[in-house]
Structure 1
Amino acid sequence: MTTSVALPRRTLVPGVFRRSLPRRRTRRVFTRRQRIVFGLLNLATFLVIWQLVATYSGIPSMFLPRFTDVFGELIEMSREGILWNNLGISLSVYVIGMVISIAMAVPAGLVIGGIPWLDRALSTYVWALYTMPRIVLMPLILLWVGINDTARVTIIVLSAVPATLVVVMEGVKTVDNSLLRAARSFGASRFQLFKSVVMPSTVPFIATGIRMGVARGLLGLFIGELFTGTNGIGYIITLAQKTFNSAQVYAMLLVFLLFCVAMVSSTQYLERRVMEWRKQPD
């Protein structure tokens, strides 16, 4: 006589007893050529929409000039030698301001972030300067140095230094304490700790801080040229505004936008290279 054993009923959970689970969707990686083509198509679409809206929407040209008129102003300014001379002046002032900013912000961030009592004493003032609108500093800057290129460099430095400083300062605090204790146990000096432990761990934060400083420095450049410049991109915008030449205003804003994109893209490339360097095995 055979006996049958009742097996426990199996509770079916949706998706558990399927023969094949759904595949995870992986993010598509575009090649460099595909990214360039997509970017050009995106830009061309934007320009076509701009031209159509400005032509057929009935918006006065003073408020929205056609892209062909804006492009014509760029060609005319380039032919007259106005565009490239003033663009070169703005670029030189910006580079000088950013070199000074990086030379000041990176060492200061490493020192403030690495010394606890100094961090407690100065971090409040650093964050206050970081959140302060730069435009409120212009009267003081004009009073200190006058209306010249030094005023523009000063506003760039005051804009870029706090942005870079806070990122580097906070990055130093993320260094793993176990690594510091291990290095001290092997008799490492303070300089060796900084060189072999703190600096490699903080390099990505330095790259990110420089990118933040570059973006803030561009705002400082634009503010400085609008208020103090007798040349440069902002000076042309001010003159075009006084003569109600909206096409020239749009043209110089477009040049400034492309200038900003180039600067920020270069720092993003630097940041990606630093992250790739960090991921490489020792």
Structure 2
Amino acid sequence: MEILAKVTTGRFGLGALSVAVVFILYIIVTNQPDNNPALLPPLTDIFNSFVTNVTSGTLFTALAASLFRIFMGFFIGTTLALILGCLIGWYKVIEYLFDPLIEALRPIPPLAYIPIIIIWFGIGEFSRVLIITIACFMVCVVNVIAGMKNVPQVYVDAAATMGASRFQVFRTVAVPAATPFIITGYRIALAAAWTTLVASELLAAQNGLGFLLQEGRRYFLTDQVMMIIVIIGACAFIMDRIFRKIQARLMQWSEARE
């Protein structure tokens, strides 16, 4: 327990140190005489922008709208990726049917679908969620398939020897064994959801963090832009940490280290 406490403390301390160094360097740069606050606002301006948006309620409204889109796109995309990826990775017939399609569509950036999505579905909320869903699905399904294909054959043989059917091996052996790949796919999908969020909110959105970013660009509110960037990074970091905790809980039997 003492060793674990030391490792945790050391990790937290080093992480806090790296963040502190970035803030200190930013303060030093923004306090230079030749710095233009309109281009690189000091931390006080960024904090004041945060207070202003919180006081007016704008930030909470935008954050709620963006989190809803993130949750919906992430949930739908990863659920489809989990189901289809497990089936593709385990059953050859399904792999032969869907693998060519996935491999053909996977290199296409999710943002490339924006024009056709606008043509087909307009610029409503459905289109914004659909773009995030595509981004999450494409990056997650590859990890799920890889996880299913990397199930140790000795596990499969042992279960089959004990009389388990192919489906029972799939349900009780293969899927649990692929869990590290699946959780990793979820974490990558979460990052993809955040990186796609801003682009999805360009589709005539009237709220959301991406909308505030565009508003800041339009009116040259650099402090607001920087504030939103920090918030997006903080939200993504917190969500990723939650997934890492879930992964650690589910993978207590694994020797893999974080």
1:53 aligns with 2:10: no
Please identify, of 126-135 and 34-43, the stretch whose mean Cα deviation from structure 2 is larger. 34-43
> More helix per residue: 1 or 2?
2
CA contact (8 A) 1:65 1:247 kept: yes
Match of 2:149 among 150, 173, 189: 173
Q: CA deviation at 1:29?
A: 8.0
Cα pair distance change 1:64/1:202, threshold 3 Å: same
CA contact (8 A) 1:164 1:212 kept: yes
Unmatched 5+ residue regions in structure 1? 1-26
CA contact (8 A) 2:147 2:178 kept: yes
Name the structure 2 match of 1:226. 202
Q: Which one-letter code corresponds to 1:109 in the other structure?
A: G
Q: CA deviation at 1:95?
A: 0.9
Unmatched 5+ residue regions in structure 2? none
Name the structure 1 match of 2:93. 117
- Distance in 2 between residues matched to 1:185 and 1:35, nearest whole Å: 44
Cα RMSD for the two superposed structures? 2.1
Please identify, of 200-209 and 150-159, the stretch whose mean Cα deviation from structure 2 is larger. 200-209
Q: CA deviation at 1:57?
A: 5.3
Name the structure 1 match of 2:49. 73
Percent identity between the two aligned chains: 27
CA contact (8 A) 1:152 1:228 kept: no
After the TM superposition, which residues 56-205 of structure 1 pair with which residues of structure 2 at under 5 Å, given as runs?
A: 56=32, 58-205=34-181
Please identify, of 83-92 and 42-51, the stretch whose mean Cα deviation from structure 2 is larger. 42-51
Please identify, of 223-232 and 89-98, the stretch whose mean Cα deviation from structure 2 is larger. 223-232
Q: Which one-letter code corresponds to 2:110 in the other structure?
A: R
- Distance in 1 between residues matched to 2:124 and 2:67, nearest whole Å: 15
1:255 aligns with 2:231: yes
Deviations 1:175-210 (A, max 9, x none): 223332333333322221112221221111111111
Larger gyration radius, structure 1 or structure 2: 1
- Distance in 2 between residues matched to 1:182 and 1:52, nearest whole Å: 62
- Distance in 2 between residues matched to 1:242 and 1:249, nearest whole Å: 10
Q: CA deviation at 1:28?
A: 10
- Distance in 1 between residues matched to 2:61 and 2:44, nearest whole Å: 23
- TM-score (norm: length of structure 1): 0.82
Q: Which one-letter code corresponds to 2:102 in the other structure?
A: V
Match of 1:274 among 226, 250, 255: 250
Cα pair distance change 1:182/1:35, threshold 3 Å: closer
